[in-house]
Structure 1
Amino acid sequence: MSVARVTTITARSSVSFEDAVRHGIERSNETLRNVSGAWVKENQVIVSDGAITEWQVTMEVTFVLDD
């Protein structure tokens, strides 16, 4: 049997939503052990002078707790 925990993170990218998700997961793996999945809850864009300058995602990252 395993027990998991979920934490909320926000990540930004100047490239795309996909890149923001990738960076968020990579960064989560540096701090959390046993990351097993993520649910992208929210997408947002940051606009400057009428153009998108950043893509932002809010994710629920799941990681399995050590025994």
Structure 2
Amino acid sequence: MAIAKIIELNASSKTSMEDAVKSGLKKCAESVKNIKGAWVNEIKVVTDDDGTVSEWRVNLRVSFIVE
């Protein structure tokens, strides 16, 4: 019987939401094995004074199988 665990993490990117997700999962995979999936729980942006998005932030939930 497999047991899955879910962890929550935050990641950011200056370029896009997609890049924030990818970089967060890549960093997570450095210490967590058997990642099976993830979902974006929340999206936030940081803006400049003129309203231009300067940073994308995501809150991810990542599931993995416990060995």
Q: Is this a same-fold pair by TM over 0.5?
A: yes
Superposition TM-score, scaled by structure 1 size: 0.93
Superposition TM-score, scaled by structure 2 size: 0.93
Q: Output the CA distance in 2 between the equivalents of 1:42 and 1:31.
A: 23
The one-letter code of the counterpart of 1:57 is V
Q: Output the CA distance in 1 between the equivalents of 2:31 and 2:58.
A: 18
The residue that corresponds to 2:64 in the other structure is 63
Matched, 1:33 2:64: no
Q: CA RMSD in A?
A: 0.7
The alpha-carbon deviation at position 47 of structure 1 amounts to 1.0
Q: 1:22 is paired with a residue of what secondary structure?
A: helix
The residue that corresponds to 1:6 in the other structure is 6
Residues 20-51 of structure 1 deviation map (CA, whole Å, 9 limit, x = unaligned): 00001101100101111001110110112222
4+ long deviations beyond 3 Å: none
Q: Output the CA distance in 1 between the equivalents of 2:15 and 2:38.
A: 20
